Structure 1
Amino acid sequence: MVRTFGRLYRWLYRDFEGDEFAFLREAFEDYLREHWWGLLCRRNRRLGTRTTGSRKTAQAIAAAAGTTPARVRQLHLAGWVEADIAAQPSGRRVWSFPASQVEPLATLISDGLTLQDAAAYLRLSKHRVRELIATGMIKPLLSTEGHGAATWLISRHQLDDLGRAYSARQALVTKEEPPDCVPLVQILKAWRLEAGAFAALLHALQSGVLTPIATRDVENNVLGGLLLPRREVQAWLAHWRESNGRGYSITDAAGILGIKAQVAYHLVRCGFLECTSSPLTQVRRVSRDGIAKFEARYISLVEIAKRSGTSPKQALLRLQIHPAAGPAIDGCRQYFYLRSDVEHLLDQPLQTQESGNAEP
């Protein structure tokens, strides 16, 4: 400071030390408190204690706010804390923080949660919280990727606002326990949602397409605890998957084909029913095109019997065609034939081998 202000500093504190010049020194120190970026400490004995305490080192402000110097520097680089940095001739960087930043810094630290704590606070898994961050629904104060921090720092206040944004749309119910509802956390754990479905579900809640159910349980006010009507969510999810080309689950595809889920899983394993899976979630989906291709190529013994006016057992005995799949072929619980092999026999009564060989 002496080098910067030179003669002015000498005049004020050496040549004009009398009380009659105190107003000049007060004006000078007011300027220092407002504009001077450097550290003013006890070495500057001529300055008042109010001036020398106007700025703090990273270590001092970190101790006052209950955190570490590294965290303070990261918050400054992320734009949350004011600071000045000076490079000395030796290359060392000197950090200087206004003392007024202690309170806002302490608020940021006390309000901050790690990624694991944020997940527990929302009753979600960590990778779901990462999805919320990736979609911009949560904006962390510090991240391990963007800011080089060792741990995440996520605002608890922001998480509260996020939960209130969805719980404010809750529909009131008159019964003590709402019927046929499922918590959002259970949907995320057990419904095997593909990539993008969680964010789309939250947008549906935000826009009012889906409405959570209000209860007296305060735990249901957090995001993961929201109670959702099961059938409405299932209908919305099926529509979203169809609209986005995500296809059907194997169980849903079985329902469309009119077969049991166990049979559908067998057909997928054997390659009869085309199926795709996400490399990230390992969720298998059957597209509408895959269902159409299966129906165009294969036909079940049950359908053959129905169209021929007989029972599946009788149809199996009378057909002299080798099935593509079935209990005696590959262990499948139902028989399936190539449609091209039996097309000429459909919609007409099946004749027994004996009657086919009888004389007219």
Structure 2
Amino acid sequence: MTLKQAAKKAGVAPSTVRHFIRAKVIAGNQIELPSGRKMRSVDEQSFAEIAILAKGCVTLDQAAKQLVLPKSRVRELIADGVLKPLVSRMHGNATAWLIPKQQVQALFFTGTEVMHSPPTINVRYILKYWHLREGEFIALVRALLGNQLKPVGKLNESVPLGNIQLDEQQTWQWLAEMRYADGASVSVDQAAKRLGLKQQVVYDLVRLRLLTTIQDHLPGRRVTQVSLDDFQATYVSLAEYAKSEKRAPRCLLQALQVKPVSGPMIDGSRQYFFRRSDLYGELSGNGASLIAPSSPNEME
């Protein structure tokens, strides 16, 4: 039967049948008439398959409404392969999108009940106010699909992606870690958390140029991963070393022969810091081992 006949019998638009054929979802035939015109047709049994396919799909607008997301975000999900439409603009410049309902439903999430009630935030708010960078929305979705982030809510309630509630602090920490892993700089306050030090101590380190900072497009002085790694490889605090030796910091300070590079009695800063290279000779001489620098993750 012709495409128009199949479309009418299946209860869909003829363009939908054409898009199914172009996307190779159903088989189509093409014959050339004596007049030179070309006519497409489908097997007369295909109308049932066409009807089932069309009934099992939603348009881009419908998917956006169901997921409570802007259409631009649904397009991102399609471009990244999270959603795989049967018909899209990639199939012969289709005017309509047909996305399987099952794939849309996979982006509905049930909540995870928690003992306490942390401050929560929904995905729509994050998209509107957190100024996500390119690719971060997709990373957020994949973190949800991979259970790296878990929605907060009732176990028996299925919530669309745009409306799910997330632990605000946990989500912000996840985003900061992801950006840091991609080479983004962090604020001095965030650097303090990674080093396991108080903020004022780290500001002292910056002032004394023991911890190198940069000025990028973000406000304030920023600290890179390379800078943190260099600092931890070069310096060790008296408190950290004393803890590893299971000794009181004050007694250890008096016993050490090497001089700290920074500290209360040297430059007015809040903590004593030593060069690891200065300590190495003394520690080697008395049989002790120099503690290895802690990674930011270990410190956290």
Query: Which band: TM-score by shorter chain?
Result: 0.5 to 0.7
* Letter in structure 2 aligned against 1:184: V
Question: How far apart are the structure 1 equivalents of 2:57 and 2:191?
Answer: 49
Which residue of 1 is the match for residue 51 of structure 2?
A: 106
Amino acid at match of 1:129: V
Aligned residues: 211
Deviations 1:131-150, CA, capped at 9 Å, x for gaps: 11111100011112443111
Conserved in 1, the CA contact under 8 Å of 2:58 and 2:98?
Answer: yes
Choose the corresponding residue for 1:88, options 6, 14, 33: 33
Structure 1 residue 186 displacement after superposition: 1.4
Matches within 5 A, 1:61-72: 61-72=6-17
Structure 1 position 193 matched with structure 2 position 169: no
Partner of 2:112: 171
Partner of 1:51: none
- Residue identity opposite 1:171 in structure 2: T
Deviation per CA, 1:223-248: give whole Å up to 9, x if none.
11211111110111110000012335
1:274 aligns with 2:274: no
1:162 to 86, 92, 107: 107
Corresponding residue SS for 1:95: strand
Partner secondary structure for residue 60 of structure 1: helix
Superimposed CA distance per residue, residues 24-44 of structure 1 (whole angstroms, 9 cap, x where no aligned partner) = xxxxxxxxxxxxxxxxxxxxx
Instruction: Indicate if the aligned counterparts of 2:85 and 2:100 stay in contact, CA closer than 8 A.
Output: yes
Which AA in structure 2 matches 1:288? V
Q: Structure 2: 5+ residue runs without aligned partners?
A: 193-198, 201-213, 228-265, 269-300
Is 1:235 equivalent to 2:173 in the alignment?
A: yes
Q: Which residue of 2 aligns with 1:129?
A: 74
Which one of 219, 224, 230 corresponds to residue 162 of structure 2?
224
Structure 1 partner of 2:223: 288
Q: TM-score, normalised by structure 1?
A: 0.51
Larger radius of gyration: 1
Q: Percent identity?
A: 30
Tell me the CA shift for residue 152 of structure 1: 1.6
2:22–2:91 Cα contact (<8 Å) kept: no
Do 2:31 and 2:38's aligned partners in 1 also have CA atoms closer than 8 Å?
yes
Q: 1:94 to 1:146 in 2, by over 3 A?
A: closer
Q: Please report how far the alpha carbon of residue 104 of structure 1 lies from its aligned counterpart in structure 2 after TM superposition.
A: 2.0
Larger deviation, residues 231-240 vs 85-94: 85-94
Inter-CA distance 88–193: structure 2 relative to 1 (3 Å threshold): same
Q: Deviations over 1:147-171 (max 9, x none)?
A: 31112222222201332xxx25x31
Rounded to whole Å, the distance in 2 between the matches of 1:285 and 1:152 is: 45
The alpha-carbon deviation at position 89 of structure 1 amounts to 4.2
Higher-helix-fraction structure: 1
Alignment of 1:58 with 2:3, yes or no, is: yes
Alignment TM-score, normalising by the size of structure 2: 0.61
Gaps of 5+ in 1: 1-55, 260-271, 277-283, 293-345, 349-360
SS of match in other structure, 1:98? coil
Q: Which has the higher contact order (CA 8 A, sep 6+)?
A: 2
Q: Which sits farther off after the overlay, 118-127 or 199-208?
A: 199-208
Counterpart Cα distance in 2 of 1:216 and 1:152: 32
Query: Residue 62 of structure 2 aligns with which residue?
Result: 117
Output the aligned Cα RMSD.
3.2
Shift of 1:126: 1.3
When residues 97 and 286 of structure 1 are mapped into structure 2, their CA distance, relative to the original with a 3 A threshold, is farther
